[in-house]
Chains A and B, each alone.
Chain A
Amino acid sequence: MPEMSPQEVTQLLADWGRGDRSALDRLFPLVHSELRRIAQRQMNQERAGHTLQATALVNEAYLKLVGQQEFEWQNRAHFFAVCAQVMRHILIDHARAHRRDKRGGGAIQVSLNDVAVIAADQSSTVLALDEALRQLETLDSQKGKIVELRYFGGLSIEETAEVLSISPRTVRREWQRSKAWLYRMISEGTENETRPLAKSR
């Protein structure tokens, strides 16, 4: 992987913020490997008693890639957004690989009374959630962003608000309704149920 200077990374983040999709394609592997490296190191850390924290990890990755002196709010927000996407990508990727194909037709059963299903089969849930999230994104991109940052990026209400430059109150209200919508979409099944499983590479 080619090394990139903090300035270049900052530039890419700014470009992406302005809507340059190709900037994300270049940022993505960079962030991916950095997150991975840090997570790996933290998990291997000799000193135990350490809990991995989303924000801490992302902040560390940010400092590593962008640098302290370049600390600029806008860039940091973009960086968080990239990280959330990376997380989502990793999760979906693995969930697909893990998902068994014995559930006929791929229908996901989520009973109204049983939210605990979430924990029971994480792979299916992650995939179902991703499916529902895509649907939600097409209907309301802001809600989609909020879910991505909150769920996949592990950001708090306040952090999400800062990243999206909206008020925490709005985030809270949108998050509340997003959850209800996602829950409904998962419960009622997504439209795209018979998608093939893990694609061969």
Chain B
Amino acid sequence: MKPDRWRKVDELFEAALEHEPGRRAAFLDQACGSDSDLRREVEKMLDFEKHSEDFIKTDVFDIAARLITQPPVKTPTTSDSIDDARFIPGDVLLERYRIVGLLGRGGMGEVYRADDLKLKQAVALKFLPASLSADGAALARFYKEVSVARQISHRHVCRVYDVSEFQGEHFISMEYVRGEELSSLLKRIGRLPQDKAIDVSRQLCAGLAAVHERGVLHRDLKPANIMLDEHGEVRITDFGIAALASDVDRREMSGTPAYMSPEQLEGRELTPKSDIYSLGLVLYEVFTGKKAFEASSMQDLLRLRRSDSTPTSPAQYVPELDPLIERVIFRCLEREPSKRPASTLQVAAALPGGDPLAAALAAGETPSPEMVAAAPKQGGLKPAVAVTLLAAAVVLLVATCLLSRSTTLYQQVPLNKSPEVLKDRAAELVKKFGSTPTPLDTAYGIGLDRDYLKYVHDSDQSPGRWNRLSSGQPAAIYFWYRQSPRPFEVNDGGQVIEDQPAQDLSGMTTVTLDTTGRLRSLNTVPPAKSSNPDATTDWSPLFVESGLDQTKFQPAPNIWTPPHQTTTRAAWDGSYPDAPDLKVHIEAGAFEGKPVYFEIFDAWDQPRDAQVSIVRYRQRVLVVLLLTVFITVVVGSSLLALRNVKLGRGDRKGAFRLAAFMAAVFFVRWVFWSHHVSNEAEAFNFIAGVQNTLAWTFFFWVVYLAFEPFVRRRWPDRIVSWSRLLAGGFRDPLVGRDILIGAVFGLGVVICNFYLANAVPRLFGYPPGIPWMDSPATQLLGIRSFAFGITQQIFGALLQSFMLLFFLLLLFIILRRERIAAVVLTLIMAVALSLTHETAAGVPFACIAVLLLMWALYRYGLLALVSTIFFVHLTIFFPITSDLSAWYAADFVLASIVCLALVGFAFYTSLAGQPLFRSSIFSDNA
């Protein structure tokens, strides 16, 4: 536009502005006449004017003032900073960084803003003092520090990218933060408003926690090292680096003693607690606008800091300050590091209104495991509640003992001989019937004849139908013993069991006895070479040892084929002396005069190959369901774990601790439960044991890495106590509370699902259900099975809890509603558990048990569920007896001690040090 034309437009523009907006058109019609071009120009200007209301609102002076003062000069004598900077805008370093300008000079060296030409992003380059570059050892340490620091990625931590060298000088490239230092903000506006200050403090804590999590210390936390970016978000800069540089060159103290912790001033070793002290000083300044320690000169400041003086109470400067804040600050400022808060997350949690978990969730972030563990959940139970729970646990435990009497199998079968006694008897029998040399390896265990129980259940509907079990013959619980001239080869589980390894070596013998020691079966592999083909066989000892009266038996044709070669065979039909109604068929065989085969066949016995196929339909459903679940979990969690680790989400520390714990558990289990032999095969057994341990350890590790982050993201509340326990917080009241609640719930589940479900239908005239027993092999073998039992129950409790939580999460993701997911899972589990009951009468109890389990998980979280399931296992996997002289009473006593100790410990911790009785009751002057 030509100047005169411009003037004309401007004049008309001015005149038009004088008119009301509505009348401008009319004015322009008249003023411009036929010059439509002129009119268009003026209208355009009017339009721009309308939109330029907010134009040039930037507080340009503030920018200018800050630019004037930048960079902070080292010495007052230095004049214009830009002029004596080492690099000028436009310089390119290492063909990668183009200097944009000098940002400042810190205690270390110059800091430039530059463009990373390779990655096309703005960076800050921080040069190190020449003294550092010259010191090889210090430089190595520095590189190490940077290599750790660059792994820290957190929104409140300024990222460190790399270290490079240019013309012999080292510099770090780091994230360029557009914003203002906290120190300059505080100088400009004094203290921050309390809301904003709390916000800033939280972000500081979160950032510092991320730094500490990596094992890096800041060492020089102060307002000048904290940036507020253009969105007002906190960025911690210079962690670890600044102070490290100053270590090297003591003459040039980079920090100011104003923000150092007492131990730092004294040159002692620094810990995260030292940073927490500095954090306290920063918080002091953020909330009050004053420095906690201030003096006119460095000497005075040092003198002040080395004295025992404490800073003025913040409330003196800011009377309306929340007392919580003052308490947090002073806790950070304890001279004794051990008295300071344990982590910055605790500091954040202690700030008023501080539920950092809620804040993190609200911000759409996944809280870190440390954050979850530090959630401000107090959890200490009121003494009255704790006492009630304790009493409930004890009452339920006693009730369990009483109810078990009529409903558990082991209390119905005579168990007066210990496995050791039975073993000796079995060995004697073997010696008596054969002349096999001393065996090299033996194994024994206990078995359960479920077919017998089922037969009684189906054929007898009388209320006393189970009384017959007390005779011990036929045996519901039986003892088996094996011996071999060679060490047994163990199976995949490290075990020798009744039919594994197969009976395939001459001299191998398997004997089964009932629990009173009567012979039930004998099976010996005959010698490979014939020696005495004409010997005759006397069958009567077999009848004597099995407690049967041979005169009551009639010879019968052979029906069953003996498993091994025999030279003579015989068979009889008859009945048991104690149970004349039960018809039995006996098969026997001898090899060259020695009995090698004896077996009592009952009415319910089926050929083995036929037995395998008789799996009840309900069981099959259950097996398929469980297998599907397991495979889904393994495959799914491996993929998820991989992804979580890649994204840095997984709680590696927690997963490692859990895995280490499980490794110990599995190893103990292997030591106590595996079949150990004394030849070189033990080495392979050991390797197999380690493999097994590692496989399960890996499984737990993967599962934990896979789905813990999802739980932490959605329901951190449910894993607070769990995270604390995993972090070693055994004495935490919340941990105690959840274990105590789990104990009560678990005992409740046992009583409902196993005892009441069996006992209550009896009251309504139903015949009693099958006496319950899970697996006698793991219950009745003394200390060996006790050690196994405990490890197995820890394993089971964790596995089942994880699975439940996993499925709740899965359903939640599918159904999108937490409550609906919980209801659906409860229904699924109720159906699954109901299937295990033989009558419909058990269903309501199964449902109550499931409700208790789900309630523990839903309301109290993972640890409560783990505890619930552990207590369930503890009470059903150990034999309960009122006869403390019984050989298996030791297991019961040990299990009871574990149970009561756990409950007592949980009770004590859940009180969090509160007195049980108010002290005023006891004090005289009340």
**Residues on A facing B (Cβ under 8 Å):** 1, 33, 35-36, 39-40, 43-46, 48-52, 54, 57, 87, 90-91, 94, 96-98, 100, 102, 112-113, 115, 118-119, 122, 125-126, 129, 138-140, 150-152, 154, 173, 176-177, 179-184, 187, 197-198, 200-201
Residues of A within 8 A of B63 (CB): 91, 122, 126
- Inside 8 A of B189's CB, which chain A residues have their CB? 48-49, 51
Residue B55, interface by CB 8 Å: yes
Cα distance, A176 to B55, chains bound together (Å): 10
A87 and B69 contact, CB distance less than 8 A: no
Cα-based distance from A150 to B62 in the complex (angstroms): 13
Question: Which residue of B has the minimal Cβ distance to A36?
Answer: B68
- Mark out the residues of chain B between 30 and 84 whose CB falls within 8 Å of any chain A CB in the assembled complex: 44-46, 48-49, 51-52, 54-58, 60-69, 73, 79, 82
Q: Is the interface of A mostly helix, strand, loop or mixed?
A: helix
Give which listed residue, A44, A57, A122, A140, contacts B187 with CB less than 8 A. Answer: A44
How many of chain B's residues have a CB under 8 angstroms from any CB in A?
52
> What are 16 of the A-B contact pairs (CB < 8 Å)?
A43-B65, A43-B184, A43-B187, A44-B187, A48-B290, A52-B61, A52-B188, A91-B63, A91-B64, A118-B58, A152-B64, A154-B60, A173-B14, A176-B49, A181-B45, A197-B90
Pair A91/B49 contact, Cβ less than 8 Å: no
Q: Are B100 and A97 in contact (CB under 8 A)?
A: yes
State in angstroms the CA–CA spacing of A73 and B189 once bound together: 32
Q: Give the residue among B66, B67, B291, B294 with the most A Cβ atoms within 10 A.
A: B67
Cross-chain contact of A91 among B14, B67, B73 (Cβ < 8 A): B67
State whether the Cβ of B405 lies closer than 8 Å to any Cβ in chain A: no
Chain A residues, CB < 8 A from B191: 48-49
In the complex the two chains form, is B55's CB within 8 Å of A90's CB? Answer: no
Q: Is the CB of A49 within 8 A of B17?
A: no
Smallest CB separation, B511 vs chain A (Å): 88
A57 CB contacts on chain B under 8 angstroms: 65
Q: How far is the CA of A104 from the CA of B864 in the complex (A)?
A: 62
Q: How many A-B pairs fall under 8 Å by CB?
A: 143
Chain B residues within 8 Å of A46, by CB: 291, 294
| Complex: chain A residue closest to B122, CB-CB | A100
Do A98 and B55 touch (CB < 8 A)?
A: no
Given contacts A48-B289, A50-B188, A102-B120, contact A40 B68 (CB under 8 A): yes
Q: Is B101 an interface residue (CB 8 A)?
A: yes
A122 and B58 contacting across the interface, CB-CB below 8 Å? yes
Q: Is the CB of B52 within 8 A of A180?
A: yes
Residue B115 CB within 8 A of the other chain: yes
Q: In the complex, what distance in Å separates the CA atom of A129 from the CA atom of B60? A: 12
Chain B residue nearest to A201 (CB atoms) is B88
- Distance in Å: Cβ of B13 to nearest Cβ of chain A: 6
Q: Are B100 and A98 in contact (CB under 8 A)?
A: yes
Instruction: Please list the residues of chain B having a beta carbon within 8 angstroms of any beta carbon in chain A.
Output: 3, 6-7, 10, 13-14, 17, 44-46, 48-49, 51-52, 54-58, 60-69, 73, 79, 82, 88-90, 100-101, 113, 115, 120, 122, 184, 186-191, 289-291, 294
In the complex, besides A50-B190, A129-B56, 18 extra interface pairs with C-beta distance below 8 angstroms are A35-B68, A44-B187, A46-B294, A48-B190, A50-B187, A54-B61, A91-B60, A91-B64, A102-B115, A122-B58, A125-B58, A139-B3, A139-B6, A151-B60, A177-B10, A179-B55, A184-B44, A200-B89
Question: Is A90 within 8 A of B64, CB to CB?
Answer: yes
Distance in angstroms between the alpha carbons of A179 and B55 in the assembled complex: 7
B56 touches A182 (CB 8 A): yes
Interface centre among A97, A100, A125 (most CB of B within 10 A): A97
CB–CB B64/A45 < 8 A: no
In the complex, the chain A residue whose C-beta lies closest to that of B88 is: A201
Contacts of B13 in A (CB 8 A): 177, 180
Q: Is the CB of B100 within 8 A of A100?
A: yes
Q: Find out whether the CB atom of A140 lies under 8 angstroms from the CB atom of B55.
A: no
Q: Is the CB of B90 within 8 A of A90?
A: no
Tell me, in angstroms, the Cα distance from A3 to B521 when the chains sit together. Answer: 119
Q: How far is the CA of A184 from the CA of B54 in the complex (A)?
A: 14
Shortest C-beta distance, A75 to chain B (Å), equals: 22
Closest 9 CB pairs of A and B: A49-B190, A180-B49, A154-B61, A97-B101, A48-B190, A54-B61, A183-B52, A180-B48, A179-B52
User: What's the Cα separation between A43 and B115 when bound, in Å?
Assistant: 29
CB closest chain-A residue, reference B46: A180
| Residues of chain B within 8 A of A182, CB atoms compared | 52, 55-56
- Residues in B neighbouring A97, C-beta threshold 8 A: 82, 89, 100-101
Distance to closest chain A CB from B626 (angstroms)? 59
Report how far A129 CA is from B186 CA in the complex, Å.
30
Q: How distant is the Cα of A51 from the Cα of B59 in the complex, in angstroms?
A: 12
Complex alpha-carbon distance, A139 and B49, angstroms: 18
Question: Is the Cβ of B61 less than 8 Å from the Cβ of A90?
Answer: no
* Chain A residues within an 8 Å CB radius of B73: 40
Q: With the chains together, A201 CA to B91 CA distance in Å?
A: 11
When the two chains form their complex, are residues B101 and A98 in contact, meaning their CB atoms are under 8 A apart?
yes
Contact of A198 among B62, B89, B184 (CB under 8 A): B89
Q: Which residue of the partner chain, among B58, B188, B289, contacts A43 with CB atoms under 8 Å?
A: B188
Residues in B neighbouring A198, C-beta threshold 8 A: 89-90
Docked Cα-Cα span, A36 to B72, in Å, equals 11
Q: Which residues of A are found within 8 Å of B291, using beta-carbon distances? A: 46
CB nearest to B44 among chain A residues = A184
Q: A100-B115, A180-B48 are in contact. Are A52 and B65 (CB under 8 A)?
A: yes
Residues from chain B with Cβ under 8 Å of A118 in the complex = 55-58
Q: In the complex, what distance in Å separates the CA atom of A100 from the CA atom of B69?
A: 22
* Residues of B with C-beta under 8 A to A52: 61-62, 65, 188
